[in-house]
Structure 1
Amino acid sequence: MTTPTHLTPLSAATAASPFAGADLCRLAGFTLPTGAPRPVFEDDIWDFSQVIGMPAYLANCARRLDFTQILNPRWKTVAKEYAAAQMAPGHEAVRLLPYANRNIKAIGTIYRELLELVRWLNWLTARGIRHLDEVTEHHCTSFAQYRATHRPNGTKTPHRESVHKLVASVILGLVQYGELFTTDRYRDGLRPFAGHTADEVAGTDSGPTENKIQPVADEVFQPLLAAALYLVQTLAPHLVRELETKRHEDAVRASLPVSALTNPVTLEEVLHRHVTERQPFNLLPTWSKSRTWGLGKEDPLVRVNLRAIAHEAGKGVISPQLLSQMRAAIEKAVQDAGVAEPFCRDATLMERAGGHGSAPWSLPLAERDLRTLTGVVKTATHLVIVALSGMRQSELREMNVGCRVPPVEAGPGLVRYKLASRVVKDKPLGGVADEWVVVKEAYDAAEVAEQLLGPDTDIGDPLVTGPLDRTRFTTFRNWVNGPAGQRLGLVPIPDGPVTARMLRRTLALEIAYRPGGLLAAKVQLKHLSVVTTEGYAARPGGAQAKFLAEVNAEENERNKDLVLTEFRRYQQGHLPAGPGARDLIDFFASVDRQIARTSAENSVVVDSDQQVRDLLASRAEVLHLGVANYCWFVDPSKALCLKLAGTPDATKPLVGMCDSSRCPQATHHPCHRPVWATSAQTKQAFIGSIARRQKTEKARLQAGLDRDLAVLATIDATV
């Protein structure tokens, strides 16, 4: 990027902004529900949270552009004008700027830039800068160095290159859009970072390189995916049934009256049932405030969920009077039946991972632990989908309930499974609907994810309600490596980085290194270009180079066959025709003499096709096929096409400009006769249809016809 060396002077202080009064959603082409508030340029908070089509992965905070944090009032307008220009590059005041960005930026990107812009402007304010024309290159460099090591929370931790680039982009952006600003701008001639681009400042402008996202290490990926598949395929059905039971109990409990239980007979029936059926009473949750309701730490009933007993009796709570009256009977029943966590009691046996025996699918769990287990299995479903489909994080978040496309039988015993979502990256707001062909394991994982959401969800509700981030991966790993996972025989997952992007790259490598896999990976990963897929496959430029090498090798073999065919015809007395025939005949004669000399010297007959092909290889390397001739590109200085085009230094002929009847390196052979015959017939037909007064056109066509007939005559003479 070259920064402008001069900016026009600021307008008067009262000059209105080109975006004054603008409806921002209309400006950016956003669609809002009927009756939704529409942010305007003058608002200090631009709320786009209700815009239809916002990507699901975008956090709620990123849908609100907050300018209230900027301390200098005049710089609020600068920040607003900068943000509005990013949203509407086609605006009449923006498209005239020579250095403005021509593509619409996503709200998420503008949000991140605004955060950095707020830090930059407030950093200037803290150093006594009141006007942007006081900013120097030293200020720009100092802030970039400060942000390279300081995080917003005050800690000193080096940032990634992407943060360095964002900082530089914001500082340089105020230069690019300076002519647009109505309240303040940099001084004329300011060139932050000595005119370097944001990529150069961040050190990322080094040309095409291998994808920086590394695949998940095998020693981490294998136990990770194995554990996820085990939870989805084996444990999840038991968990789903437990959650259904819990939802039913919650519904029953919600319908109970809030009145207190006062009937001792009803309470006695509940206590008797627990004792006779050996059914433990529910433990009181550790977080429940009921522990402070008049019960000391040493009280025998402090660990018992008395509210659950009341619910069994059809009431909300047990009255204090009844508790005092029946305390002895309750304590005796608790002593006989015991207490236990309320969920996953009497869990059925299932086969442990690896086939090493069986174990209950879960130990008794408290409600909080059941939520944790549900979250772990949800993570497993999302992990399986990403690892086996290659979906981006944004595409995973766009999946909805009902995303499973009905399976299609592609052949006997072959079923094709698809998951529907939306491609968001590099697409218009709202994304583009698309489908992913997946293996059955990923398809089943999506079904389990729907079941875990419960019956209250409807078709079209989000299937994934949170990002598949480091916190969820860590929780999943800790559960697998903890007592619960080890009890089920799961292989511990070693420490090592795991992200959704790393899983996507791992799949790309697995697909790309199979026969024809690079194109398959491009299709599966929804890449716009195979070059991107090559980067994922750690082969930048590799597929294209390999493809071209294979094409060149095939062309060379084909050329050797053609030259061998013409050499055999020469030996049979059938000579080539055309201006270059004499040179080709001389070459064939020299090869013939070499064969004879070699045979005489070694007393061995050199006549096999492979041996002759080797002798003809030098001429095959310069053979180029024209539509109606062979071009023997031995000497570029003799090529008529290059002379006509004025490119004498070219390394290949311009076959489309070939005039083989005059080029000294062109030859005609029997295989070319149909082309010349067709051309002659066409010209004859046109000449017969031309009026007498069109003498010039008739003369031009007649000259071409004479040329075609002359070539045909020379070809026929060699047969």
Structure 2
Amino acid sequence: MATTLTNPAGQHRFDDRFVLAQRPLLTGYRLEQTNRFRDDVWQLGPANLQAHTRSIVVNLALIPAPWRVVAKELLFAMLSGDLPPGEERPTMSTVRTRYTELKRFMTWLNTTAAARTGRRPASLRELVGADLQSYQKHLILTLKSPDYRDIARGGVRMLWRYRSALSDHLTFDPAHLDGWSENNRRRGENSTNRIPEQVHGPFMVWAMRFVDDFSADIIAAADKWRILRSQARPKTPARNGAVRDPLRQLLADHIAQGQPLPGYRGKPNMLALARLIGGSQRAVRSRLDEIEAAAAIVGVDNYTRIDIPITGRIGDQPWIEAIATDVTGYKPAPNLAKLVNLLLAAAYATIAFQSGMRDCEIKHLRRNCLSAQRDATGRIYRYKVTSLAFKGETDPNGVQATWIVGAPAARAIGVLEQLQPAGTDYLFAATEFIGGFGPGSPIKNPENHALLTITTNDHLNSFVTWINEYCTTHQRNDFIPTVNGTSWRITTRQWRRTLAWFIARRPGGSIAGAIAFRHLSIQMFEGYAGTSDSGFRAEVESEQALARGEHLLAMIDQHEHTNLAGPAAEEAAQRLQGFADRAHFQGKVITDEHRLRRLMTRDDPAVYPGKYITCVHTHATALCQQRQDHGNKLRPDIATCKPLACRNVALTRDNIANLRLEITRIAGELDTRPLLPPLLRLRFTPNGGQGFKQLLLRLSGIARSVGG
């Protein structure tokens, strides 16, 4: 039965309703200033509470007239209307996405569908399964990405899910339609690519150089630029005479030092000279003869440099010649706006990779968000960062959350606090430097306080371009290589995925990842890092097996396998000797990566080198918490190893040396701390039976048995 939403005069009963009535608004906005249902253009920015997102505009005039009212009804229901049973109020970005897909579908209905089927449907109720199957074929032809096609189909399905709020709607659920979904797609798995190691490694090296070595120069230049820009520039003729002596002194200084005058397009930069002496351009131009006379002696720079010493070094050389104020800049002296953006990119990458924070969480970092925890001696042992979390939270304003980060991220936050002016709260706020903004700049959107995601993506990839240009100019080899012949495009989403890869490769990585990524369960983290079906886990295990195989071959080559200690030493020697025999091909040890992978798959000796022990894994005697790999084969969990009791343990010289160093370190830590409780003291004495002293005695005996 149709829902009647219009009156005989053709007016909609929602015409006077505010579309943001059920949405919290940004400070400074009143509901009376926002759009009503009858408007064809809805400005949703006043309810866009995330500081880094675009100002959202929904232009319903772009939807064909026959379908415009039902599109309005759907979007209004999502924004502030009555929700169907079981539906939750969607985010503003979701509303904007649904609008885009409604426009795509309804434009198709009004044009392509009529041409293809020979009929123009008058209502959504007239649509049948064949119509939506035809739309699916249209999506396959026009959208290359299965993910984008999935989003497009989701927008159409809203016309069924919200049927109780619509005057016209689909009469069937498209999800049950044969051929509607693409069944070969994996569900519930993050499909974002990680950054390849060959890109990630050098990128992070350069990022840390900017944060630790170059940031002081960029910050000093930014501070100097702000001072010069804030100086008064009088324009009245009465003050023209006041510039004579300061200008003459400035020109004399340049001549004495042999320093060219600041330039702009080959001529003296009058604005720069005026700012340097606190005068007006008009007054400076009145002394043009003196300026040209000085220029004839010392020349004119290709750019206007900011007068600061360059302290950053690569090796024993300054990393750049100078920092320029020009928008275009000059290659020996990159312009300040460019360098500020590069520093923002470097700090972003450092924080993102060190914390696992999402883009929205990083963009809401504010001044004083970092705290440090110290031990009794004052040594920092933990850094905490506080920001807002949005995903999975019920409060659209975000909820306060805390992340543990490493020292590099802490230093990056400190750099950002120095880079931003004192009155700027957001660490990733848009800078005031000319040329410092990318597409969709937040400076155009007064409700945005932080850089847009697209702007940060531009900064990250500009960072790659700058690195490669710098390496080419200075004949360096630490550039960012291509991947399959193409420059890898980095996005903000890839950092979290890349960190998941690194965490998952470590012992106990799933647990650590669940904590670091603020997931409620290990299963959620594994879904993010990649399920076994996705190939992510298999790829991790393959990389680990390859590294282990290379390590074992190196042990065999140095004859370490015949000089082991511990209960499993003899078994380890036999397995590794057999592995060595199979690894030889025509008298040579395998060095080809692909052949080594095949060998490890077929003839894995199940010997797992570790820092403190070498596990010669046998399932029946293992005391650790064994786990299944991608092929359902049991593997040891080194993190839960019981080295003093397990019969699978063998020890190399390095294992024993590392154990001794660790015992010495722990003993030193204990000596510097207050007296322990009685029970712990008992365990750490020889009478305790299994304390550190006992362990050291046993290790000393093993060391003697292998000549240690």
The CA distance in 1 between the partners of 2:149 and 2:336, in whole Å, is 43
1:425: how far off? 0.8
Q: Which runs of 5+ in 2 are unaligned?
A: 115-119, 328-334, 431-449, 483-487, 538-619, 622-708
Give the one of 270, 274, 294 matched to 2:254.
274
- Aligned residues of 1:87 and 1:104 also touching (Cα < 8 A): yes
What's 1:335 paired with?
296
- Aligned residues of 1:407 and 1:415 also touching (Cα < 8 A): yes
Task: Give secondary structure in 2 for the equivalent of 1:422.
Answer: strand
Aligned residues between the structures = 492
The CA distance in 2 between the partners of 1:309 and 1:319, in whole Å, is 10
Change (3 A) 1:32 1:14: farther
Task: Give secondary structure in 1 for the equivalent of 2:20.
Answer: helix
| Match status 1:416 vs 2:403 | no
The CA distance in 2 between the partners of 1:540 and 1:509, in whole Å, is 13
What's 1:308 paired with?
272
| Match status 1:118 vs 2:108 | no
Query: Structure 1 length normalisation: TM-score?
Result: 0.61
**CA offset digits 1:415-441 (Å, max 9, x no partner):** 211111111112120111111110111
Change (3 A) 1:513 1:411: farther
1:512: how far off? 3.1
What's 1:35 paired with?
30
What's 2:451 paired with?
465
Change (3 A) 1:359 1:9: closer
- Aligned residues of 1:79 and 1:117 also touching (Cα < 8 A): yes
| Match status 1:455 vs 2:422 | yes
Alignment of 1:59-458 (within 5 A): 59-60=54-55, 62=56, 64-72=57-65, 75-87=67-79, 91=83, 94-95=84-85, 102-126=87-111, 129=120, 131-132=122-123, 133-150=125-142, 158-182=143-167, 184-186=168-170, 188=171, 192=174, 195-196=177-178, 201-203=181-183, 206-207=186-187, 211-252=190-231, 254-257=232-235, 259=237, 261=240, 266=245, 268-284=248-264, 286=265, 303-312=267-276, 314-318=278-282, 322=286, 327=289, 329-340=290-301, 341-344=303-306, 347-352=309-314, 356-368=315-327, 369-409=335-375, 413-428=379-394, 429-458=396-425
The CA distance in 2 between the partners of 1:453 and 1:412, in whole Å, is 29
Q: Which letter maps to 1:281?
A: L
Change (3 A) 1:213 1:399: same
What's 1:492 paired with?
479
The CA distance in 2 between the partners of 1:201 and 1:146, in whole Å, is 13
1:176: how far off? 3.2
Structure possessing the higher radius of gyration over alpha carbons: 1
Alignment of 1:427-576 (within 5 A): 427-428=393-394, 429-458=396-425, 462=429, 464-467=450-453, 469-483=456-470, 487=474, 491-495=478-482, 496-540=488-532
Change (3 A) 1:364 1:31: closer
Q: Which letter maps to 2:192?
A: I
1:245: how far off? 1.4
RMSD: 3.6
The CA distance in 2 between the partners of 1:533 and 1:367, in whole Å, is 46
**CA offset digits 1:9-65 (Å, max 9, x no partner):** 4548537867564443333566765635243333333333223x71223211x3x33
**CA offset digits 1:104-133 (Å, max 9, x no partner):** 211101111101112222232235636224
Q: Which letter maps to 1:316?
A: S
- Aligned residues of 1:400 and 1:462 also touching (Cα < 8 A): no
1:206: how far off? 4.0
- Aligned residues of 2:234 and 2:279 also touching (Cα < 8 A): yes
**CA offset digits 1:434-478 (Å, max 9, x no partner):** 111101110110111122222342479858523264422220011
1:540: how far off? 4.2
1:388: how far off? 0.9
- Percentage of pairs with the same residue: 20
What's 2:53 paired with?
58
Q: Which letter maps to 1:472?
A: H
1:261: how far off? 3.7
What's 1:49 paired with?
45
1:383: how far off? 0.8
Change (3 A) 1:307 1:484: farther
1:258: how far off? 5.2
- Aligned residues of 1:262 and 1:322 also touching (Cα < 8 A): no
Change (3 A) 1:242 1:510: same
- Aligned residues of 2:254 and 2:298 also touching (Cα < 8 A): yes
Q: Which letter maps to 1:57?
A: H
The CA distance in 2 between the partners of 1:180 and 1:433, in whole Å, is 35
The CA distance in 2 between the partners of 1:320 and 1:226, in whole Å, is 45
1:223: how far off? 0.5
The CA distance in 1 between the partners of 2:299 and 2:161, in whole Å, is 74
- Aligned residues of 1:349 and 1:361 also touching (Cα < 8 A): no
The CA distance in 1 between the partners of 2:524 and 2:230, in whole Å, is 51
Task: Give secondary structure in 2 for the equivalent of 1:239.
Answer: helix
Task: Give secondary structure in 2 for the equivalent of 1:417.
Answer: strand
Q: Which letter maps to 1:146?
A: H
1:382: how far off? 0.6
Q: Which runs of 5+ in 1 are unaligned?
A: 1-7, 96-100, 151-157, 287-301, 546-612, 615-719
Change (3 A) 1:215 1:263: closer
Query: Structure 2 length normalisation: TM-score?
Result: 0.62
Q: Which letter maps to 1:493?
A: I
1:373: how far off? 1.1
The CA distance in 2 between the partners of 1:217 and 1:83, in whole Å, is 40
The CA distance in 2 between the partners of 1:29 and 1:123, in whole Å, is 34
Change (3 A) 1:264 1:38: closer
Task: Give secondary structure in 2 for the equivalent of 1:482.
Answer: helix
What's 2:117 paired with?
none
Change (3 A) 1:50 1:13: closer
Change (3 A) 1:441 1:124: same
What's 1:557 paired with?
none
1:171: how far off? 2.1
The CA distance in 2 between the partners of 1:23 and 1:532, in whole Å, is 39
- Aligned residues of 1:162 and 1:202 also touching (Cα < 8 A): no
1:269: how far off? 4.5
The CA distance in 1 between the partners of 2:402 and 2:108, in whole Å, is 47
Change (3 A) 1:423 1:310: closer
Q: Which letter maps to 2:259?
A: Q
Task: Give secondary structure in 1 for the equivalent of 2:401.
Answer: strand
- Aligned residues of 2:386 and 2:401 also touching (Cα < 8 A): yes
